[in-house]
A and B are shown apart, each in its own frame.
Chain A
Amino acid sequence: MEKQHNWPLWEIFIRSKQGLDHKHVGSLHAADAAMAIENARDVYTRRMEGVSIWVVESRHIHASNPDEASSFYDPANDKVYRHPTFYDLPDELKHM
């Protein structure tokens, strides 16, 4: 394979507005972080989508294993007491 195809992959996070969180929008190739930010600007903010960009090289992201989903997440299913639903709330309180 030619070298140009071996640029590492980067995950791109864009903050769409002041005060909001950065959200994952996709990935792209770049030779280094500076180029990744510029590429992200050109690929993902062409239509006014963002005010801030984060880039992380994909190899630095460690993900949970989907095969372990049942042991990871199911045990939380029947633990209703972990939700704050057992408080008596005064009637005046709305939106809780």
Chain B
Amino acid sequence: MTTQHTIDYALHLADNALVLGHRNSEWTGHGPILEQDIALSNIALDLIGQARYFYQYAARLMNAAARPGEPEVTEDVLAYLRDSWDFRNCLLVEQANGDWGKTILRQFFFSAYQYYFYKELQRSRDGELSAIAEKALKEVTYHLRWSSEWVIRLGDGTEESHSRMRKALDELWMYTGELFQPADYERSLIPVGVAVDLAEIRPLWEERVREVLKEAKLVHPGSMRADGKATKEWMQGGGKQGRHTEQLGYLLAEMQFLQRAYPACEW
């Protein structure tokens, strides 16, 4: 375990929250109904708030380890001036919004993950990470409740909403495996009690997803094989190491434009 691992880990958590927060904020002003527009914008703000804490922590560690004369790192530098290959977010969060159903399902998968993740991270030996987790868990508990209800509402809704949710499942399921694949920086932080052991929270996530999909009358993608056996599914991966889908480039182009075109601009 080195400081660099902790920095990478904090950046991974920050990037997850920032990228999904930004995706959700793309709905602001476009929500299907005013009240849900506000609900999703609130979630976006919660996530961007979580990202800020992790970026601030990473920046402090980076500045402390910097050689004399190196420029100061800030949360804004980390959010706006890194390129796609520097981002360590999971592929799931960068996927385009699609329709309301796809946005909801993406949020549900990720909120369920964050819920069990932050519960564990509260017990991290790293006091900074555990404090952020404790604060974020309250927000995520609500995100999970909100997105679960929507998955059920749409899955068990009309023929139209059900078929859209099935399509969303087809499109997003392959990105869920990466949530539980530890990156190298995570692996070295698990034995020392700093990082969450993803193998421990995986069964909890699977159970919750199975329950909600069942209530939503959606067929669990993992159970679609004819023999009913849990054969190895092929899952996308690489985001945590900086290998992203093309989606992230478009997102960064929009999110970072202002700071790139007008460096250090404030408003």
Residues on A facing B (Cβ under 8 Å) = 4-5, 7, 28-31, 34-35, 38-39, 41-43, 46
Contact = CB atoms under 8 A, between A and B. Distances in A.
Nearest to B146: A38
A43 B39 CA distance: 8
Interface string B218-251: 0000000000000000000000000000000000
A35 to B, nearest CB: 7
Interface residues of B, number: 13
A31 B153 contact: yes
Contacts, number: 31
Contact of B33 (A29, A38, A41, A46): A29
B146 to A, nearest CB: 6
Chain B interface main SS type: helix
A34 B42 CA distance: 18
A7 B42 contact: no
Interface in B137-177: 142, 145-146, 149, 153
A42 B35 contact: yes
B153 A38 contact: no
Contact of A42 (B32, B42, B149): B42
B142 to A, nearest CB: 8
Contacts of B38: 39, 42-43, 46
Given A38-B149, A42-B42, A46-B42, A4 B32 contact: yes
B163 to A, nearest CB: 16
B199 interface: no
Nearest 10 Cβ contacts at the A-B interface: A39-B35, A42-B39, A42-B38, A28-B35, A42-B42, A43-B38, A4-B33, A4-B32, A43-B35, A38-B146
Contact of B149 (A28, A29, A35, A43): A35
Contacts of A43: 35, 38
Nearest to B142: A41
A29 B38 CA distance: 12
Contacts of B42: 42, 46
